[in-house]
Structure formats: structure tokens, C-alpha cells
């Protein structure tokens, strides 16, 4: 083995080692970048949800007060008072343990009451 062939073998070995480390560093960078991106997105989502959850808790407290004060309340009144759309209001009503009335009203208004006051086994 002469010096030139030995130099070529060493150069090839160094090249293979370098390529391995470059690939390994690239893989680690991709994994770390992916984890940081996911973590950042989760944190932003949590921040946005925190504001909405706080608003929903205030709205649910107000709905409970309104439904405790009276037997049945019109949905239109409820969503106007809490400043939400009808679908959001219905979602919050269900979360606090309320239900809609089975009976059709003459004015075709949808009314809601607490299940604790109007159990499902007593249809009014």
C-alpha cells in the first residue's frame, strides 16, 4: 500500500464519517424543529382557549342565575343577555344542566329551564 492509496482510503473514510454526522445532525434538527413547532402551536391554542373559556364561565354563571330566578326562560332572552349566538347559548345551557321544553308554545318561542327544576320524567 503506497502513500497515495492510503491517503485515498483515509479521505473516503473521512467523507463517510462526515456524511453520517451531517445526516445525524440534520435528523436531530428536524426532530427538534418539529417538537418546537408543535409545542408553540399548543401554547398558542391554550392562550386563545383560555380567553374563550373565561368568557364561557361568566356566561354560564349568568345563565344559572337567570334560570334559578324563574322556571322557564325564552332562548331569545337568554342569548341577548349573555351576548352570544343561539348555538353557543344552547351549548352553554346544556353544560350547566338545562334543557329545552317539550311543549310547543303559542308564540313559537323556544324556552329553557334547569333539569333540577324540570326533571325529564315530569313533562310540562
* Mean of all residue pLDDT scores within the chain: 89
Domain count, the chain: 1
Q: Is residue 85 part of a domain?
A: yes
**pLDDT for 107 beyond 70:** yes
Q: Is the pTM of this model over 0.75?
A: no
Q: Is residue 25 part of a domain?
A: yes
Return the C-alpha cell found at 99. Answer: 334543557
What are the tens digits of pLDDT across the range 27-47? 999 999 999 999 999 999 988
Q: Is residue 104 part of a domain?
A: yes
CATH number reported for the structural domain that contains residue 64 in this entry: 1.10.10.10
DSSP assignment of 52-112 equals: HHHHHHHHHHHHHHHHHHSS-EEHHHHHHHHT--HHHHHHHHHHTTEEE-SSPPTT---EE
Which domain covers residue 12, as residue numbers? Answer: 3-114
Amino acid at each position: 500500500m503506497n502513500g497515495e492509496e492510503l491517503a485515498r482510503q483515509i479521505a473516503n473514510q473521512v467523507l463517510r464519517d462526515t456524511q453520517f454526522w451531517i445526516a445525524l445532525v440534520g435528523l436531530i434538527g428536524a426532530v427538534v424543529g418539529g417538537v418546537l413547532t408543535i409545542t408553540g402551536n399548543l401554547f398558542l391554542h391554550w392562550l386563545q382557549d383560555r380567553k374563550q373559556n373565561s368568557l364561557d364561565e361568566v356566561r354560564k354563571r349568568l345563565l344559572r342565575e337567570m334560570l334559578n330566578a324563574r322556571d322557564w326562560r325564552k332562548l331569545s332572552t337568554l342569548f341577548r343577555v349573555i351576548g352570544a349566538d343561539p348555538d353557543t347559548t344552547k351549548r352553554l345551557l346544556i353544560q350547566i344542566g338545562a334543557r329545552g321544553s317539550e311543549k310547543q308554545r303559542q308564540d313559537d318561542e323556544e324556552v329553557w329551564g334547569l333539569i333540577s327544576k324540570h326533571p325529564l320524567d315530569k313533562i310540562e
